[in-house]
């Protein structure tokens, strides 16, 4: 990667008008896996994480704004100001793993997610996506997120997926949740993977 991914090209609607690429807010961004995945397809408007070492790698590879902060310290107005179409969440997985003792919401590392769930209910971005370990499904955090999204009018879909099911050579089963104010898009069909 040269550190300067191409901006997403404008799409043309059926009416002939140019449509801007989707705007993504990458929360709990780590080193930028989502930014790399959407390069050329969407515009990352900002990335937020508390880990300064991960953010150093992120800044080396991407030019969009990066914020070093806990999500509970960011005012709702700042999140709203980015005008993102999609909030992508990759919160710490340790609270939902056996090695992390499955402390769920009792783990201090879950505080930012809880604060963010509260903001989701008030700010209602058009789309929300979350990825985490399989143990997230069935956790109290999962129940809180799902209940909050549904009460706010979101359509919620979720699934456990392994990248190998989609033709990507990476064996790492993950939990994915996609929520939209419009009905969610269909999941990729693993049988149709290359």
Active centre residues (catalytic): 93
How far apart, in whole angstroms, are the C-alpha atoms of residue 22 and residue 41? 8
């Amino acid at each position: 990667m040269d550190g300067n991914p191409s901006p997403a090209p404008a799409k043309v609607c059926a009416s002939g008008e140019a449509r801007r690429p989707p705007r993504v807010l990458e929360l709990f961004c780590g080193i930028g896996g989502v930014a790399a995945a959407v390069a050329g397809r969407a515009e990352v408007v900002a990335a937020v994480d508390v880990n300064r070492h991960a953010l150093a790698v992120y800044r080396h590879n991407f030019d969009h704004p990066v914020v070093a902060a806990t999500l509970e310290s960011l005012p709702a107005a700042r999140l709203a100001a980015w005008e993102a179409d999609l909030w992508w969440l990759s919160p710490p997985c340790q609270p939902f793993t056996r090695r992390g003792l499955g402390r769920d919401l009792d783990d201090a590392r879950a505080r930012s997610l809880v604060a963010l769930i509260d903001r989701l209910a008030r700010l209602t971005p058009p789309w929300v996506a979350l990825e985490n370990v399989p143990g997230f499904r069935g956790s109290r955090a999962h129940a809180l997120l799902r209940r909050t999204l549904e009460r706010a009018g979101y359509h919620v879909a979720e699934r456990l997926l392994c990248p190998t099911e989609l033709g990507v050579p990476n064996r790492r089963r993950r939990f994915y949740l996609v929520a939209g104010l419009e009905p969610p898009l269909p999941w990729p069909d693993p049988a149709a993977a290359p």
